Amino acid sequence: MSLSPIPCLPVTGPLLRRLGGVGLALVGLAPVVLGLPDHLLYLATMTALLALLAQSWNLPAQAGLISFGHAAFFGVGAYASALLSQRGHVSPWLGLLAAAVAAAITGWLAARIAGDLPGPAFSLATLALAEALRVIALHWIGLTEGASGLVGIPGLPWPAIIGAESPRTARILDYCAAAFLLGVLYAIATWIRRRPYGLALEAIRQAEGRAGALGVNTRRVKASVLILSAAFSGLAGGLYAHLFHWLDPTSVFGIHLSVMPLIMAMFGGTGTLLGPVVGAAVLYLANELVFQGLAPGAHLWLYGAAIVLVMVALPRGILGWLGGWMERGHGLV
């Protein structure tokens, strides 16, 4: 019996599938081309960052590993990059690299601790891991400054040659960095999809025992996909630290960072490649642009209601639903 709440693989209609990569690139470039005002550019950067996190959450989910603790990787990446560049005076670029490595090690640890646990137990163990790291960050004051957090984290040092003197250009470049990382991860996810590795992930999700019997080294595949996912979540965390210049245990290890990628990916359509990106954009932008105006601080409501809606009414997410709707003959394709 499969224990994952994700339905089977082919969930998007042909149009969506064909448009996936190209459309993403076009939409990704739009904020730069359109010259959005600062406020909207900030929203675009945050959307890309959250989409990166949601997309990385989605990788292990393809193998049925529903993580409740991606904040662990995000937070380790954020602290690693922030501490290295602030205390160690290392370039933030190297800091980002260190963020990926540190988060990957955390991912390896998570795989060692929880990788072979059955569905719900895996989810709960990852939740406990993230919460334990938050508690440690809160109390290990010598390293992390505890609850007062780190302030004055340097931003990304764009070389002056591309005209990064003006804060505006730097902000655009910051956005490009987030969008670039998202693009890289999207490409990796697409490339994996049709390889034996991606099929192994799918096989593990559907029937882990049988996948093992067919010669898939399930333990190794699960560990590697967790490590890959953790590395990109760590990059998102590192980027967050350099974009916002401050962090504290709750802002980078908080449970909302575990919840949001899960909700965004499931809302968009788990098991699809575009789903996490669409989910992140729809939910985050709906929250910031619509709901904040109507009812400030209602974001918990929105995210909670989104996940309830998906679980009860749209088990394949909005893309899965759209795909099914088009297959029934409503679409243009």
| 183 binds another protein, rule: CB under 8 A | no
What is the C-alpha separation between 40 and 289, in angstroms, rounded?
Answer: 10
- What pairs with residue 150 in β-bridges? 247
| 29 binds another protein, rule: CB under 8 A | no
Among 105, 138, 188, 286, binds another protein (CB under 8 A): 138
Looking at the Cβ atoms of 41 and 137, the one nearer to another protein is 137
Min dist CB 266 to another protein, Å, is 7
Binding residues among 261-280 for another protein as defined by CB under 8 A: 262-263, 266
Among 297, 328, 329, 332, binds another protein (CB under 8 A): 297
Min dist CB 292 to another protein, Å, is 13
| 207 binds another protein, rule: CB under 8 A | no
What is the C-alpha separation between 111 and 38, in angstroms, rounded?
Answer: 40
Min dist CB 3 to another protein, Å, is 5
| 9 binds another protein, rule: CB under 8 A | no
Min dist CB 5 to another protein, Å, is 5
Binding residues among 243-262 for another protein as defined by CB under 8 A: 255, 259, 262
What tokens does 24 get?
């993403």
Among 305, 325, 330, 333, binds another protein (CB under 8 A): 305
Between strands 150-151 and 246-247, the pairing is antiparallel
Min dist CB 315 to another protein, Å, is 6
Min dist CB 10 to another protein, Å, is 18
Min dist CB 114 to another protein, Å, is 7
Min dist CB 12 to another protein, Å, is 20
Question: What string of H, E and C letters represents the secondary structure of the chain?
Answer: CCCCCCCCCCCCCHHHHHHHHHHHHHHHHHHHHHCCCHHHHHHHHHHHHHHHHHHHHHHHHCCCCCCCCCHHHHHHHHHHHHHHHHCCCCCHHHHHHHHHHHHHHHHHHHHHHHCCCCHHHHHHHHHHHHHHHHHHHHHCHHHHCHHHCEECCCCCCCCHHHCCCCHHHHHHHHHHHHHHHHHHHHHHHHHHHCCHHHHHHHHHHHCHHHHHHCCCCHHHHHHHHHHHHHHHHHHHHHHHHHHHCEECHHHHHCHHHHHHHHHHHHHHCCCCCCHHHHHHHHHHHHHHHHHHHHCCCCHHHHHHHHHHHHHHCCCCHHHHHHHHHHHHHHCCC
Binding residues among 42-61 for another protein as defined by CB under 8 A: none
| 8 binds another protein, rule: CB under 8 A | no
| 109 binds another protein, rule: CB under 8 A | no
Min dist CB 116 to another protein, Å, is 9
| In contact, 151 and 246? CB cutoff 8 Å | yes
| 124 binds another protein, rule: CB under 8 A | yes
Which residue matches tokens 């780190």?
150
Among 105, 298, 327, 331, binds another protein (CB under 8 A): 298
| 315 binds another protein, rule: CB under 8 A | yes
| 62 binds another protein, rule: CB under 8 A | no
Name residue 37's amino acid.
P
| In contact, 144 and 249? CB cutoff 8 Å | yes
> For another protein, which stretch binds (CB under 8 A), given 9-17, 34-42, 117-125, 153-161?
117-125
Name the residues that contact another protein, by CB under 8 A: 1-5, 66, 68, 113-114, 117-121, 123-125, 128-129, 131-132, 135-136, 138-140, 255, 259, 262-263, 266, 297-301, 303-308, 311-313, 315
